[in-house]
Structure 1
Amino acid sequence: MRKTLITLAFLLQSICSMAQKKVPFFSIPDTTTKSHVWILSGTTVALYGSTLAVLNTAWYKGYPRSSFHFFNDMGEWNQMDKAGHIFSAYFIGKYSREMWRWSGLPPKKQIWIGGLSGLAFQSVIEVLDGYSSEWGFSWGDMGANAVGSALLISQELAWNEQRIQVKFSSHLQSFDDPVLQRKANELFGTSYWARTLKDYNAQTYWLSVNLHSFNKDSWLPKWLNIAVGYGADGMLGGRDNTWTDKNGIDHDYGHIKRIRQFYLSPDVDFTKIRTGKKGVKVIFQVLNMLKFPAPTIEINSQGNMKLHALYF
């Protein structure tokens, strides 16, 4: 949960930097430009360093430190946190790769430098987790980070484009039961942004496939995608729905089923929409993080099927 929040803040900071320097879309050189390489290197180090410094002093400040240790969290949250790691590593790498186009370095170097940046950034966070008694170094998280980076790099090397993109959507969720609502507030926060980024019950992660890119002669619009999504619901804790509150009262909500949800929906690839305005291109890159709201078919792990007129 917290890593998704931190990563999205990092992405927005990176995007603002790119827009200010006009890096990803303006005057991309044909050959290596050393001044551009130095600017990009300095920007990357500054962004990474400042973000990790804030994280190390602020986020971990309220939790006791410990010796380095491992933590197996593969069974938690129906693996929604792992989907978040894939998404985060993918998009840090994607935006970094776009920035490095401005360097003029050979394309393969741009791809590897940019693509591995997501894995590198997430790996440092994982090491910091290893020294926190609240968490620990998770090989499951590292594996998910590697999947996100690999998904980006492999497509760039094979097709020089992202035909299959990782996207995110989230909706607000509330409970009529005051005990459940209080527990949700403790776990996921009360503000709109906190609930959007922390509540695994409300999140969906998507693989959005651009149809036209797999058949260049197709009559289908270049911007039309088909997206397959994964979500979960009914989760009031990492592994089960029982807990003891701060007053020592035990709560057992094991009757609430922890379910997995699978989605199928049309989507939009904003980067395939033609525009001559460079600022709009930056906005389209940002919008492509998100799944476009559309009619959606849902099938859950209990065998139930729903049709959503509009799902986000």
Structure 2
Amino acid sequence: MNHSLGIVFIALLFYIGSASSQQPADPAFGLKLTAAVSAPVITLADTSYPRPFPEYDFERTSIVPWRAAVIGGALTTVFVGLDIYQRNSWWKGQRGEFHIAPDNDYALQVDKVGHFFGGALSTFIGKKSAQWTGFSDDASTWVGAFIGTTFELWVEYQDGFATDWGFSPGDAIMDVAGALYPVAQHYLPPLAAFQPKFSYYPSDDLLEGRHKGGNIIDDYQGQTYWMGIHVHELLPSSWKP
């Protein structure tokens, strides 16, 4: 089961809420929202990360207590809120014994790509939050990965108790791979040129009520996952103007 779309909306709230107070860009992990002909495109990118606040030091951790309290409260609220929501929607009336249910033939593997993107985006939220509290760039990368991995695996673990779902090893692997992708980008700069993207436009089945479940999270016909490549960043310096 792919919960990535809900995480996308949460990430946008975090980004939009803090962007208005940020300063000119420094190179690091960033998020872009651009318009497409048919749908919005959400892009994870290691380009032009704004300084979280004027005194922020990318090289040194200096935690601001009130910022840490705000982020701690916000993340706790998000985690608890999502748990309450999913217990009253996805998992409602389905509590049973924990079981493993491989689903490698589900949705032509599109859901696995979604789990990868969701994991990467969860890490983005965690890293951005950690930087806003004053963690250095290196430290916040690992804090973000911890938050992203923990959140994604928590959801998968709870799925294991749902009678209609079950714990999917394939989903968990892609969650972790996605959560660690920003870490790889941080330490392997060429990977910053490869930017996962997501766009969505409701499918005809969903709009006409033929989609099983009737929700956008599993509307894979309407979801598109892209890999943007900044070719310029991969070229030798002598080839660049």
TM-score by length of 2: 0.73
1:185 aligns to 2:210 (yes or no): yes
Distance in 1 between the 2:191 and 2:52 partners?
A: 15
After TM superposition, list the pairs within 5 Å mapping 1:13-92 onto structure 2: 13-19=13-19, 25-30=52-57, 31=60, 32-35=62-65, 36-61=67-92, 63-92=93-122
How many residues align structurally?
Answer: 209
| Superposed CA offset, 1:160-189 (max 9, x none) | 9832121112344437xxxx997x623262
What is aligned with 1:208? 228
Distance in 1 between the 2:73 and 2:207 partners?
A: 45
Distance in 1 between the 2:225 and 2:88 partners?
A: 30
Indicate which of 106, 122, 127 corresponds to 1:97.
127
After TM superposition, list the pairs within 5 Å mapping 1:213-252 onto structure 2: 213-215=233-235, 217=237, 218-219=239-240
* Offset, 1:83: 0.6
| Superposed CA offset, 1:199-253 (max 9, x none) | 2123221121222222373548xxxxxxxxxxxxxxxxxxxxxxxxxxxxxxxxx
Relative to structure 2, which stretch is displaced further, 132-141 or 10-19?
10-19
Give yes or no for contact 2:103–2:170 (8 Å, CA) kept in 1.
Answer: yes
Distance in 2 between the 1:213 and 1:46 partners?
A: 39
After TM superposition, list the pairs within 5 Å mapping 1:121-136 onto structure 2: 121-136=151-166
Q: Greater CA radius of gyration, 1 or 2?
A: 1
Normalized per residue, the structure richer in strand is: 1
Distance in 1 between the 2:106 and 2:17 partners?
A: 35
**CA 1:81/1:130 → structure 2, altered by over 3 Å: closer, same or farther?**
same
After TM superposition, list the pairs within 5 Å mapping 1:133-144 onto structure 2: 133-144=163-174
Q: Which has the higher contact order (CA 8 A, sep 6+)?
A: 2
Distance in 1 between the 2:94 and 2:213 partners?
A: 21
Distance in 2 between the 1:188 and 1:216 partners?
A: 50
TM-score by length of 1: 0.58
1:116 aligns to 2:146 (yes or no): yes
* Offset, 1:17: 4.5
Structure 1 residue ranges (4+ consecutive) displaced by more than 4 angstroms after TM superposition: 19-24
What is aligned with 2:11? 11
Indicate which of 195, 199, 204 corresponds to 1:169.
199
The share of aligned pairs that are identical, in percent, is 23
Distance in 2 between the 1:25 and 1:161 partners?
A: 23
* Offset, 1:119: 1.8
Matched residue SS, 2:163: coil
| Superposed CA offset, 1:250-290 (max 9, x none) | xxxxxxxxxxxxxxxxxxxxxxxxxxxxxxxxxxxxxxxxx
| Superposed CA offset, 1:10-30 (max 9, x none) | 323433543588696332522
Give yes or no for contact 2:123–2:148 (8 Å, CA) kept in 1.
Answer: yes
Give yes or no for contact 2:7–2:121 (8 Å, CA) kept in 1.
Answer: no
Distance in 1 between the 2:190 and 2:17 partners?
A: 24
What is aligned with 1:252? none
